[in-house]
Amino acid sequence: MGELVFVGLGLYDEKDVSLRGLEEARTSDYVFAEFYTSLMTGLSLERLETVVGKRVAVVSRKTLEDDDGEPILQKAEKLKVAFLVPGDPLIATTHIDLRIRAQKRGIKTKIVHGASIVSAAIGLSGLQNYRFGRSVTIPFSEPHSVYETPYNVVAENKARNLHTLCFLDIKAEEKRSMTIEEALKILLSLEEKKKMHIVTLDSLAVGIARAGAEDSLVKADSVKSLLNYDFGSPPHTLVFPAERLHFVEADALVKLAGAPESVKNMAR
């Protein structure tokens, strides 16, 4: 009887795996990994293989999505297979798909959770978890197409006095990840079109760079200031706070994210 263990690798490098995850990988017959649903910019495959003590086979988007993860499932039918995944494994829909296919083939599955950008970004922003509305991904725009969803989600959340967590798109093939500046420009161009005063140059935003890394950086300020702020290399994440803040949130933005003192006027 085979087994497929999804192991979350966390956020940044090979040291972000848990002791439990490492134990599962070490006791597996085969170890696969993917690095296209998130970029783990500090990770080296060589160091990961040293830590795990086994060869790690990296699978592509094509293997998982076009070929339905067939190479992984074939091994897992008879043997114990660990599949190492950035973040918390089931946040990416593609891994839920794979898990469903495994179960359908009678393969037992197990999940070892890892640190996710979902909770990390919420925590680093200094804003309160239960005040976040739905989150959204800001995709690279295709020529001549304008994808309005991110703007609409921020608008919808602000109307309900909620914060918005925005994930920024990645193009794993090109090892390219959207920057805060690019994301803000996309939203400003939507603002120009829709004119609902949702994301203007004066709006407050929180930029988060390299969550989980030693040199991670969080900066809260107006969109205008953030456009010129040097966040360094990606991955980047963006948060739009609600128009009204809890006083602890305002304090956190000032003390932990370097927001201007005027942010305190947004607190009740």
Q: Residue 85 pairs with which residues in a beta bridge?
A: 8
d(CA 133, CA 47): 38
Q: How far is the CB of 22 from a copy of itself (least distance, A)?
A: 7
Q: Is residue 2 a contact point for a copy of itself (CB under 8 A)?
A: no
CB 125 within 8 Å of CB 203? no
User: Which has the closest alpha carbon to 40: 7, 67, 70?
Assistant: 7
Span of 10-18, 52-60, 140-148, 178-186 interacting with a copy of itself by CB under 8 A: 10-18
Strand partners, 5: 82, 110
Residue 134 binds a copy of itself (CB under 8 A): yes
Is 159 a binding residue for a copy of itself by CB under 8 A? The answer is no
With CB under 8 A as the contact rule, the residue among 43, 52, 115, 206 that binds a copy of itself is 115
Q: Interaction with a copy of itself in 224-253: which residues (CB under 8 A)?
A: 248, 251-252
**CA 67 to CA 101: how far, in whole Å?**
12
Nearest approach, Cβ of residue 209 and a copy of itself (Å): 14
Binding a copy of itself by CB under 8 A: which of 41, 60, 128, 189?
Answer: 128
Pick 109 or 200: Cβ nearer a copy of itself = 109
Residue with structure tokens 């991110």? 150
Nearer of residues 120 and 220 to a copy of itself, judged by Cβ: 120
The structure tokens listed for 162 are 């909620």
In the complex, least distance from residue 52 CB atom to a copy of itself, rounded to whole angstroms: 11
Q: What are phi and psi of 47, to 5 degrees?
A: -65, -40
Check: CB of residue 208 under 8 Å from CB of residue 183: no
Nearer to a copy of itself, 49 or 227 (CB): 49
Closest to 137 (Cα-Cα) out of 168, 104, 94: 168
User: What are the C-alpha distances in Å from 57 to residues 14, 124, 250?
Assistant: 15, 33, 46
- Is there a cis peptide before residue 150, judged by omega within 30 degrees of 0? no
Query: Total residues at the site for a copy of itself (CB under 8 A)?
Result: 59
Q: Which is nearer to a copy of itself, 104 or 144 (CB)?
A: 104
Beta carbon nearer to a copy of itself, 50 or 201: 50
Residue (13 or 191) nearer to a copy of itself, CB: 13
Residues in the chain: 268
- In the bound state with a copy of itself, the residue whose beta carbon lies nearer, of 94 and 200, is 94
CA distances 15 to 34, 52, 111, 147, Å, are 16, 11, 18, 37
Positions touching a copy of itself (CB under 8 A) are: 8, 10-11, 13-20, 22-23, 51, 87-91, 93, 96-97, 99-100, 103-104, 111, 113-116, 118-120, 122-124, 126, 128-137, 156, 160, 162, 211-212, 216, 248, 251-252, 255-256
